[in-house]
Amino acid sequence: MPRNLVAIMIKEALFLFTEGYIRLMIRVLHIVTAFPRSDDEHSMTPWLVSLLKGLKERGVESTILAPSYKGLGDQVVQGISVRRFRYFIKDWETLTHDEATPVKLSRKPWYITLVPFMLFFGIKKMKKLIKLERFDLVHVHWPIPMAIIALPAVGKIPIVMEFYGAEMALVRRNILLKYFAKWIAKRGDYCIAISSYTASLVRDITGITPVVIPYACDFPTKVNKPVFPEKKSPKNLLFVGRLVERKGVEYLIRAIPYIRREIDVRLKIIGGGPLLNNLKELAKQLKVDDIAEFSGIVSNEEKDKAYRECDLFILPACFDKKGDTEGLGVVLLEALSYGKPVIASSVGGIVDIVKNGKTGILVKEKEPKEIARAVLKLLSDKNLYLKIAENGYNFVKENFSIEKIAEQTYEIYKNLLDAI
């Protein structure tokens, strides 16, 4: 065989191998509003970190594009490359990260002046990234408004847009934002929503029907079988989440006087937020401050301990004055993953997780007496308590595990690339 022919065959084989490897390793740029600033930060988006780790096991290399926070630059966080872009004076780069941006804007409307700067410099960073690096896909989280940053990739790189609900609640109150949402959603090649509720909002506003892929739940290690707290006193009730109106913590506190008339209970409230002092004052007014503990923001270890020690988890979510509510309810997934029975309001995406009488108990929003009745019912019925705890755990394991969600997301990426 001629030497030059052998060389050509070797070259061709190397090309095919390299091309196959490149297609196997999918590189995705995730555009987000916030991402952990250190390995040990108590993240607002633990499910996103879990998803990226699950995708990595499937050959997906993820890069994060996020706004800076007080001058913070590029980082590697939990093994994930994070590219941050500066958008204003260092001390004023606080539009994102410490709390959800819509919540911050509702409390401090003047922060809206920072949004154009964030988007302008985000676009500038985006142009630079796609020019210097090769990405197979762009995955935009919170497309309103973060999809604007992805515009330089339109028509060049497939774009996945993922909606979470809070941004759509904001959009539906403004006719101009509705037109913008409809226009920007059509710039994407694929649309995801985290719950059936969020999907309905997206469909009603944009005319696009998203595929529902929920949060991924990272299961704790060494979860014991559910144990009915028959002789335990006091019984431990738990809430975890931001102390904002849509979480409905006020109604949980108002339920405690009804509950303590029948049984001895303790309520632990984990989380910080603008309503912290108001809720503490309410507990004093109702004379339940002796059994209501406000723990604030705690470490992952403390939160793990609270989940393990609680007897019931309660998410009394509601629609707030602006029409916003829970897009899904990630804390419900966390509680169920510990084998704990849950009580929650039948609003928003919660109904995708809590199936009344099967995986939890659903109550009407803003109804303290209903919350109290549900608590007393579960803590007095051993069979129901154990059934709901076991069913809830199995339901989350089957439908919300990292493996399941990462595989669904990977299939979307793969199908989009195969269609090119």
Domain assignment of residue 122, yes or no: yes
Q: Is the dihedral of CA 38, 39, 44, 49 positive or negative?
A: positive
Helices 46-56 and 402-418, axial angle in degrees (round to 10): 60
| Strands, E assignment, 286-388 | 292-296, 312-315, 342-345, 361-363
Q: How far apart are CA 144 and CA 163, in angstroms?
A: 8
Report pTM: 0.88
Whether residue 374 is found in the same domain as residue 408:
no
Domain assignment of residue 223, yes or no: no
Give burial (CB, 10 Å; 0-12/13-18/19+) of 56. Answer: middle
Whether residue 393 is found in the same domain as residue 408:
no
The SS3 call for residue 251 is helix
Whether residue 190 is found in the same domain as residue 268:
no
Domain assignment of residue 377, yes or no: yes
Whether residue 192 is found in the same domain as residue 250:
no
CA distances from 98 to 222, 298, 398 (A): 31, 14, 32
Domain assignment of residue 332, yes or no: yes
Instruction: Report angle CA 22, 28, 34 to the nearest 5 degrees.
Output: 160
Domain assignment of residue 225, yes or no: no
Q: How far apart are CA 334 and CA 50, in angstroms?
A: 13
Domain assignment of residue 222, yes or no: no
Whether residue 55 is found in the same domain as residue 164:
yes
Q: Note down pLDDT in tens along the chain; length 420 residues.
A: 555 555 555 555 454 444 444 446 899 999 999 999 999 887 778 889 999 999 999 999 999 999 999 999 999 999 999 999 999 999 999 999 887 777 777 778 888 999 999 999 999 999 999 999 999 999 999 999 999 999 999 999 999 999 998 778 778 888 888 999 999 999 999 999 999 999 999 999 999 999 999 998 888 878 888 999 999 999 999 999 999 999 999 999 999 999 999 999 999 999 999 999 999 999 999 999 999 999 999 988 999 999 999 999 999 999 998 888 999 999 999 999 999 999 999 999 999 999 999 999 999 999 999 999 999 999 999 999 999 999 999 999 999 999 999 999 999 999 999 998
Whether residue 301 is found in the same domain as residue 378:
yes
Domain assignment of residue 73, yes or no: yes
Whether residue 191 is found in the same domain as residue 249:
no
In single-letter form, the type of residue at position 161 comes to M
Whether residue 207 is found in the same domain as residue 247:
no
Domain assignment of residue 228, yes or no: no
Domain of residue 392, residue span: 235-399
Burial annotation 288-307 (CB, 10 A radius, 16+ → b, else e): bbebbebeeebeeeebeebb
Contact 54, 216 (CB under 8 A): yes
Cβ atoms within 10 Å of 165's Cβ, excluding its own: 23
Q: How far apart are CA 246 and CA 365, in angstroms?
A: 10
Whether residue 305 is found in the same domain as residue 407:
no
Whether residue 409 is found in the same domain as residue 391:
no
Structurally, how many domains does the chain consist of?
2
β-pair partners for 364 = none
Q: What integer pLDDT is reported at residue 42 of this predicted model? A: 72
Q: How far apart are CA 300 and CA 302, in angstroms?
A: 5
Whether residue 192 is found in the same domain as residue 255:
no
Q: What is the CATH number of the domain that holds 115?
A: 3.40.50.2000
Cβ atoms within 10 Å of 368's Cβ, excluding its own: 21
Whether residue 390 is found in the same domain as residue 407:
no
